[in-house]
Amino acid sequence: MEPTADRVQFSPVKEVYSPGDVLTVAIFFRKPWVGEVEVGLATDAQPAGTFPLTVFARSNAALYEGQVHVRKEHVGACRMLAKFSGVDGTTVTKPLLERPIQVRPINP
């Protein structure tokens, strides 16, 4: 069963993020969905499936919430990707946001 995410909210909302920042993410579904949701940031340089993922908690039948950590390896443009694993055994990985997230290193 294909998950139908209605909207994604995250905070804090910034133009540019730095390694060490933590994003709090909420994924709202159009209709109840049951399964495991894992979310992470991936650069275009990373091979598919090699980016770190965080398992999100199911808050209710149509809401999953969790945190994504911005790391040093995310410097540049990153995509926020979600891996949806349904109880029927299907797994789908797709982007959560239309625009990439910009990450810049902290310069002392």
pTM, two decimals, is 0.88
Q: What φ, ψ does residue 26 adopt, rounded to 5°?
A: -125, 130
Q: Which residues contact 37 (CB under 8 A, 6 or more apart)?
A: 3, 27, 55, 56, 58, 64, 66, 82, 83, 84, 85
The CA-atom distances, in angstroms, between 34 and each of 40, 58, 71, 76, 79 are: 19, 8, 29, 33, 24
> Is 98:42 a contact under the CB 8 Å cutoff?
no
* CATH of 5-98 given 3.30.479.30, 2.60.40.1930, 3.40.50.720, 3.40.1190.20: 2.60.40.1930
Question: What was the pLDDT predicted at 48?
Answer: 64
pLDDT at 33: 85
pLDDT value at position 83? 93
The residue ranges of every structural domain in the chain are 5-98
* pLDDT tens across the length of the chain (108 residues): 667 788 999 999 999 999 999 999 999 998 888 899 999 999 876 666 678 899 999 999 899 999 999 999 899 999 999 999 988 889 998 899 989 999 998 776
